Structure 1
Amino acid sequence: MSALRARLSAILLAACLLFAGQALATPQPAAAADPGYLMTHFIGEGATGQQIYFSHSTDGLNWTDLNGAGMALRSTVGTKGVRDPSLVRAPGGDKYWIIATDLCIGCGQTWDQSINDGSRNLVVWESTDLVTWSQPWLLNVAGAIPDGRNAWAPEAIWDPASNDYILYWATNKPLNGATKHRIYYAHTSDFRSITTPQIYIERPGSQEIIDTQIIEMPTGIGDYRYVRASGDGQITLEGSNSILGTWTHLGNLSGIGLTGSQVEGPMWMKFNGSDKWALYLDQYASSGGYMPVLTTDPSSPATYRKQATGSYNMGGTKKRHGSILNLTAAEDSRVQARWANTTASRIQSYNFPDRYVRHTNMDVRIDPDVSPADDSRFRLRPGLAGTGTVSFESVNFPGYFLRHSGFDFQLAYNDGTGQFAADATFRQVAGLADTSWSSFQSYNFPDRYIRHYAYELRLDPITTTTARSDATFRVTN
């Protein structure tokens, strides 16, 4: 009997293992407490669509727009627009960069201008926590390429062989009788300076290549340490055992009906806890945004499978060419706390009810008929300096807060200092002129309140009836 029980137990265990293996055929949603994924992307055209947006997923297939579906970072340099952002994490997890194309189609340049005389710069942000980001800076990558005419679609990957980052991007230039986009690369350790650019990928004849992204493979999966997907007339797959070594052509996705005339902007993602990957592709030809193609081996084109409509959800905004970061638990917690979907509000004057607090050229005042309306829209964030307080973050200049300086108000970029936090933090109390409205008491000058005077915002002691009315506001949507 004991032998029979042992045999039955073994059969039951095998059946359980078989069932578990079958269950992994499709990636399962992560538990709510598990760390998820952060997508960095842009959403379309125009001055606001071509900025940095964040989306979050718990399972890698269903995405939620962060920051109320508003931009998370805005470029104030170069063309003042960005596309094709890539989010890079340092090997030690102590620093992050976003690198992006300096390009604003329709709000600074046409496509023809951007191809033949575009920005030679990339736009770069830096952070130590994914929450507070530096002001953007320009990194000139194509200026050292003779007759290089632009710099598009940057990516970067840590190379243990050189102990720095391989930064790569597309530049259009004439060479050997062909004017086309080729992929160039350079070494960098800080995204502030680079080595002399070299050609990295060139397709034969007049064939261009613009978008390419590399993923590092775990040991035991496929025959290559690195796999790259490129938009070059197809979605071409290649494999190599070193980033700057020889790359072997593996095939493309035409076998599942996807060609370069339909999709571009390949974006890799590995599912947490399983040897399964998604290659997200931007359906630019149909203006459909991203779709996932799943595989168990990125180096084998035969393993790729398109997903049925309804098996994934890209969220409310259209996701355009970007990158995905697998978050740690600590990163996930910080990201969700900072970029939660806080409702945007307007701040209405009590005694001039047709006027709202707004920024203009970084000055702050109350005006009627604000245009654009987003100049008068703010997200009430938990106070930067203390619990039970609020700070006012601009909707169309994320990272910029209402802040007093010399008791005058300005819209200023959060530099992460304690002084800034204190100057940008307020206690929301019952309205001084009407308790059904609100007044805002300074955190670091508690005898002073936000008030308007000659329509300009300032921080004053409140001692008169007029001042109490000037210091009373309604937070409204």
Structure 2
Amino acid sequence: MSVVLSRLAAILVAVGLIFTSLTLGNTGRAAAAEPGYLMVHFTGDSATGQTLYLAHSTDGLHWNDLNGGAPVLRSTIGTRGVRDPALIRSPDGSRYWIVATDLCIRCGSTYEKGSPSLVVWESTNLVTWSQPRLLNVAGAIPDGRNAWAPEAIWNPETNDYVLYWATNATLNGVLKYRIYSARTSDFRTITTPQVYIDPPGATPVVDTQMTEVPAGVGKYRYVRVSGDGRNTVEGSNSILGTWTNLGDLSSLGLTGNVVEGPVWMKFKDRDEWALYIDYNAPNGVREYRPILTTNPFDVSSYRLQEPTSYDMGGTPKRHGAIMSLTAAEESRVLARWPSTPAERLQSYNFPDRYVRHTNFDVRIDPDVSPADDAQFRLRPGLAGSGTVSFESVNYPGYFLRHADYDFQLAHEDGTSQFAADATFRKIAGLADPSWSSFQSYNHPDRYLRHYAYQLRLDPISTATGRSDATFRVTN
């Protein structure tokens, strides 16, 4: 009997272990977080507000500002301001574009007189972006006065992208905003713009945004919302085909200039969609507010969310775009834009002077104005672990980089040469170990130092040189 009981006990233990391992395995899979969502947006009409910001969400409703709530891209062309960004991923995931309105309110341009061009950035990894370029889309439109709120979507019927935007132009004797469209494969050249959406009479339309819906949800393949005063919702089976009116958002009280900038987002873990609306709340605060639905084609199912059910983060989220991330994309994005504080480099032997950029040259100066010119984020080194790179606060994407042993503020181009030139080892100060010195990554016999107030990369062999190459990192 004791032998039988022993064998039975062993069997029970084994079964218990099997169930335990299965339970732990299932728990591990359940606990493994799915990749989240990325939002690109602007914040408002200030000079810094008309740059581009990023936010991340794990659930699509609660958002955290990346880069400590500071901008991640700034336009240096056109009006030098950007609004209403669209974020586009190629079908194979090998390329990304940001396309935005070229408009800077209160810093040179007005709503009445804008730019005929859009601002375009391009990337192969979602974190290293090209220099911005202008794409003139309204210049070929008779009386085309501006180009606003661009969007783009891949069209499998034509094997390219449909780019669409709002332009204020006179057509058939009526001056108003209409949605125009053109085709493009590279966001460098476009086909001749065509009228895409033109409501009857004098009714204008801006801020159209559409998304593709999986088969089986409804009778249509695509759904779009347009800012035409009633925020009309439409469905279609072809992007460039006929669209059917499905209703509007007036039943939710969302009419007129109360809302703008709609953007669709599909939840990854369930058959539900969020329609984010740039909402002008009664308290004067303007930012995104989500509408949820399990059927984008049934406007009666739309549910405007109360503020307690979502969190937009610390910065206002104005007209932007949302992308569902892959695990690799999320890893790159979160590593690139952590909440790193802005800091300054104070000279050891000229303590009233700080490293600053001016016209992309780099020197040490007292009383730096604007103050942001002397502020940098010490990022993990672009070329190697245990190193640092200095990214400008007011020119995000620009780093301190040496060239021919001289320093400049230069735009990261994604090359290994740039990464090496912009990477340094932070060591104990050569003149005072309680301060810091910065050794070149690719020229380890040279150090960052000032000479005649200009920043240089030099070998250090004298007491003066050691003082010139010593700095305090301070906020």
Task: Give the aligned partner of residue 59 of structure 2.
Answer: 59
Task: Give the aligned partner of residue 23 of structure 2.
Answer: none
> Could you tell me how far apart the structure 2 residues matched to 1:261 and 1:131 are?
34
Decide whether the 8 Å contact of 2:142 with 2:170 is kept in 1.
Answer: no
**Which of 355, 362, 372 in structure 2 is aligned with 1:374?**
372
> Could you tell me how far apart the structure 2 residues matched to 1:435 and 1:34 are?
45
One-letter code aligned to 1:367:
D
> Could you tell me how far apart the structure 1 residues matched to 2:217 and 2:406 are?
60
C-alpha deviation, 1:231, in angstroms:
0.8
Decide whether the 8 Å contact of 1:400 with 1:412 is kept in 2.
Answer: yes
Q: For 1:341, what is the secondary structure of its paired residue?
A: coil
> Could you tell me how far apart the structure 2 residues matched to 1:294 and 1:260 are?
21
Decide whether the 8 Å contact of 1:165 with 1:187 is kept in 2.
Answer: yes
Q: For 1:393, what is the secondary structure of its paired residue?
A: strand
Inter-CA distance 371–32: structure 2 relative to 1 (3 Å threshold): farther
C-alpha deviation, 1:417, in angstroms:
1.3
Task: Give the aligned partner of residue 139 of structure 2.
Answer: 143
Task: Give the aligned partner of residue 150 of structure 2.
Answer: 154
Task: Give the aligned partner of residue 263 of structure 2.
Answer: 267
> Could you tell me how far apart the structure 1 residues matched to 2:115 and 2:231 are?
26
> Could you tell me how far apart the structure 2 residues matched to 1:369 and 1:222 are?
63
Task: Give the aligned partner of residue 24 of structure 2.
Answer: none
Measured against aligned partners, the alpha-carbon deviations of 1:80-134 in whole angstroms (never above 9, x if no partner) come to: 1110000000000110000001111111112222xxxx21111001101101111
Task: Give the aligned partner of residue 191 of structure 1.
Answer: 187
One-letter code aligned to 1:40:
V
Matched, 1:471 2:460: no
Task: Give the aligned partner of residue 163 of structure 1.
Answer: 159
Gaps (5+ residues) in structure 1? Answer: 1-29
Matched, 1:238 2:234: yes
> Could you tell me how far apart the structure 2 residues matched to 1:32 and 1:171 are?
46
> Could you tell me how far apart the structure 2 residues matched to 1:213 and 1:415 are?
31
Q: For 2:258, what is the secondary structure of its paired residue?
A: coil
**Which of 276, 279, 290 in structure 2 is aligned with 1:280?**
276
Matched, 1:44 2:44: yes
Task: Give the aligned partner of residue 12 of structure 1.
Answer: none
Task: Give the aligned partner of residue 95 of structure 2.
Answer: 95
Decide whether the 8 Å contact of 2:207 with 2:227 is kept in 1.
Answer: yes
**Which of 444, 449, 452 in structure 2 is aligned with 1:451?**
449
Decide whether the 8 Å contact of 1:36 with 1:57 is kept in 2.
Answer: yes
Decide whether the 8 Å contact of 1:182 with 1:199 is kept in 2.
Answer: yes
One-letter code aligned to 1:53:
Y
Decide whether the 8 Å contact of 1:32 with 1:58 is kept in 2.
Answer: no
Task: Give the aligned partner of residue 175 of structure 2.
Answer: 179
Task: Give the aligned partner of residue 310 of structure 1.
Answer: 308
Task: Give the aligned partner of residue 206 of structure 2.
Answer: 210
Inter-CA distance 243–275: structure 2 relative to 1 (3 Å threshold): same
> Could you tell me how far apart the structure 2 residues matched to 1:193 and 1:277 are?
33
Decide whether the 8 Å contact of 2:286 with 2:318 is kept in 1.
Answer: no
One-letter code aligned to 1:52:
L
**Which of 413, 421, 428 in structure 2 is aligned with 1:430?**
428
Q: For 2:47, what is the secondary structure of its paired residue?
A: helix
Decide whether the 8 Å contact of 1:150 with 1:171 is kept in 2.
Answer: yes
Q: For 1:468, what is the secondary structure of its paired residue?
A: helix
Task: Give the aligned partner of residue 322 of structure 1.
Answer: 320
C-alpha deviation, 1:67, in angstroms:
1.1
Q: For 1:48, what is the secondary structure of its paired residue?
A: coil
Task: Give the aligned partner of residue 336 of structure 1.
Answer: 334
Q: For 1:190, what is the secondary structure of its paired residue?
A: coil
One-letter code aligned to 1:134:
S
> Could you tell me how far apart the structure 2 residues matched to 1:108 and 1:299 are?
41
Matched, 1:405 2:417: no
Query: Under a length normalisation based on structure 1, what TM-score does the superposition of the two structures give?
Result: 0.91
> Could you tell me how far apart the structure 1 residues matched to 2:70 and 2:313 are?
13
> Could you tell me how far apart the structure 1 residues matched to 2:32 and 2:129 are?
27
> Could you tell me how far apart the structure 2 residues matched to 1:287 and 1:167 are?
30
Decide whether the 8 Å contact of 2:135 with 2:189 is kept in 1.
Answer: yes
> Could you tell me how far apart the structure 2 residues matched to 1:46 and 1:458 are?
35
C-alpha deviation, 1:32, in angstroms:
6.5
C-alpha deviation, 1:302, in angstroms:
0.7
Task: Give the aligned partner of residue 27 of structure 2.
Answer: none
Matched, 1:361 2:359: yes
> Could you tell me how far apart the structure 2 residues matched to 1:474 and 1:32 are?
42
C-alpha deviation, 1:345, in angstroms:
1.0
One-letter code aligned to 2:57:
S
Decide whether the 8 Å contact of 1:234 with 1:261 is kept in 2.
Answer: no
C-alpha deviation, 1:31, in angstroms:
5.8
> Could you tell me how far apart the structure 2 residues matched to 1:216 and 1:440 are?
51
Query: Under a length normalisation based on structure 2, what TM-score does the superposition of the two structures give?
Result: 0.92
Decide whether the 8 Å contact of 1:42 with 1:83 is kept in 2.
Answer: yes
> Could you tell me how far apart the structure 1 residues matched to 2:143 and 2:257 are?
28
> Could you tell me how far apart the structure 2 residues matched to 1:229 and 1:333 are?
32
RMSD: 1.2
Decide whether the 8 Å contact of 1:384 with 1:424 is kept in 2.
Answer: yes
C-alpha deviation, 1:45, in angstroms:
1.4
Decide whether the 8 Å contact of 2:55 with 2:65 is kept in 1.
Answer: yes
> Could you tell me how far apart the structure 2 residues matched to 1:386 and 1:254 are?
55
Task: Give the aligned partner of residue 351 of structure 1.
Answer: 349
Q: For 1:469, what is the secondary structure of its paired residue?
A: helix
Measured against aligned partners, the alpha-carbon deviations of 1:270-313 in whole angstroms (never above 9, x if no partner) come to: 11121101111111463321111111111111111111222111
C-alpha deviation, 1:47, in angstroms:
2.3
> Could you tell me how far apart the structure 2 residues matched to 1:175 and 1:160 are?
30
One-letter code aligned to 2:466:
R
Matched, 1:110 2:106: no
C-alpha deviation, 1:418, in angstroms:
1.3
> Could you tell me how far apart the structure 2 residues matched to 1:403 and 1:230 are?
45
Task: Give the aligned partner of residue 6 of structure 2.
Answer: none
Task: Give the aligned partner of residue 220 of structure 2.
Answer: 224
C-alpha deviation, 1:168, in angstroms:
0.3
> Could you tell me how far apart the structure 1 residues matched to 2:313 and 2:364 are?
35
Inter-CA distance 32–254: structure 2 relative to 1 (3 Å threshold): farther
Measured against aligned partners, the alpha-carbon deviations of 1:288-341 in whole angstroms (never above 9, x if no partner) come to: 211111111111111111112221110111011011000011111111111111
Aligned residues: 444
Q: For 2:333, what is the secondary structure of its paired residue?
A: helix
